[in-house]
Amino acid sequence: MKFLDQAKIYVRSGDGGAGAVSFRREKYIEFGGPDGGDGGRGGDVFIECVDGLNTLIDFRFAQHFKAKTGMHGMGRNRTGAKGDDVVLRVPVGTEILEEDNETVLADMTRVGERLLLLKGGNGGFGNAHFKSSTNQAPRHANPGLEGEEKWIWLRLKLIADAGLVGMPNAGKSTFLAAVSAARPKIADYPFTTLHPNLGVVEIDGNGFVLADIPGLIEGAHEGIGLGDRFLGHVERTRALLHLVDGTQEDPGEAYRVVRGELAAYGAGLDEKPEVVALSKVDALDEETRAERAANLEEACGQKPLLLSSASGENVDRGLRMIRRAIDRDREQEANSVPQMPSEPWRP
């Protein structure tokens, strides 16, 4: 299944059905009177969050969604049936935005969450509604109200506990493949990863979800390389694992470039708990390891983890550090939620 994390679609609710103009005419009924029924309501447009989806690819080939018009009213005071609804099924983590791609209408984060996006038009009144003492035989009825329409954006932000960030070829996909059952594409050229990957990691009997996104280069926030579009997938994470390639000459500069792009993107990414690791250390001798670790420590202000996904060196230790960062963030979040008083407040 191909990955698609953004789609623009057109949605329209159904028009209401028209009211009927009808009169009761029976041989032995002298004063039949009007009996035109009301039109049915137009169909609504719903968005529902479902399990089992992790892409918006279904919206690439179908961008127009229209609910059905309500049935028209009929004689004998028969009301028209309601038009069929349209239900758009989206994966967990989908944001619904206005056409400007900035105004957020809803954030779908729970399976089963359902949003009424557009209401169908009301059905028109039949002529039976207009009967009065001065108008015993009304010969007019209301048309149904028109439905609503709009263009919206769907934007998927994967929900993961931790995210992998770094420059291209920093070893992010190799790390994800080493610690989970995910099988991302791995090669020795930049931008091998073209879309985010998720993996479920188990360590010491505890599990968490790890997201790997395409690499960042200087100027990503201006659209250079693959840009910063995929950073949205680590917005919801609780911690970041920042991998820096130990085989390059200046790992400290590589760290500063990625941190600069995180800050330029915003959304609090540069404020998340971060574990910094010097990767690919299996390719370095002891002297080079120490030299580049010191260079990176000077740039990041903490002692980096020396990591090798190929040999497994410090992989479990790195996972435990990420797990602790996730747990600390959860604990802080729980403590920051105001508690309801056990007894009613009295002045």
**Residue 223 assigned ligand-binding role:** no
Confirm if 141 and 127 have CB atoms less than 8 A apart: yes
**Residue 325 assigned ligand-binding role:** no
- Maximum CA pair distance of the chain? 110
Q: 116 has which bridge partners?
A: 46
**Residue 280 assigned ligand-binding role:** yes
Residues in the chain: 347
**Residue 336 assigned ligand-binding role:** no
**Residue 36 assigned ligand-binding role:** no
* Spatial separation of the C-alpha atoms in residues 171 and 315, rounded to whole Å: 12
**Residue 191 assigned ligand-binding role:** yes
**Residue 247 assigned ligand-binding role:** no
Confirm if 263 and 218 have CB atoms less than 8 A apart: no
**Residue 279 assigned ligand-binding role:** yes
**Residue 212 assigned ligand-binding role:** yes
Measured in whole angstroms, the distance separating CA 159 from the mean position of its chain's CA atoms is 8
**Residue 281 assigned ligand-binding role:** yes
* Spatial separation of the C-alpha atoms in residues 171 and 215, rounded to whole Å: 10
**Residue 215 assigned ligand-binding role:** yes
* Spatial separation of the C-alpha atoms in residues 72 and 66, rounded to whole Å: 18
Confirm if 50 and 89 have CB atoms less than 8 A apart: yes
**Residue 288 assigned ligand-binding role:** no
Helix (H, G, I), strand (E, B) or coil at 86: strand
Measuring CA to CA, which residue among 149, 144, 153 is closest to residue 56?
153
**Residue 173 assigned ligand-binding role:** yes
**Residue 180 assigned ligand-binding role:** no
**Residue 16 assigned ligand-binding role:** no
**Residue 270 assigned ligand-binding role:** no
* Spatial separation of the C-alpha atoms in residues 139 and 247, rounded to whole Å: 86
**Residue 309 assigned ligand-binding role:** yes
Kindly list the strands in the beta sheet with 94-97, ordered across the sheet, starting from the edge strand earlier in the chain: 64-66, 6-12, 149-156, 94-97, 104-108
**Residue 74 assigned ligand-binding role:** no
Which region holds residue 280: left if phi is over 0, alpha if psi is between -120 and 50, else beta?
left
Binding residue positions for GTP: 166-173, 191-195, 212-215, 279-282, 308-310
**Annotated binding-site ranges:** 166-173, 191-195, 212-215, 279-282, 308-310
Task: Point out the annotated binding site for Mg(2+).
Answer: 173, 193
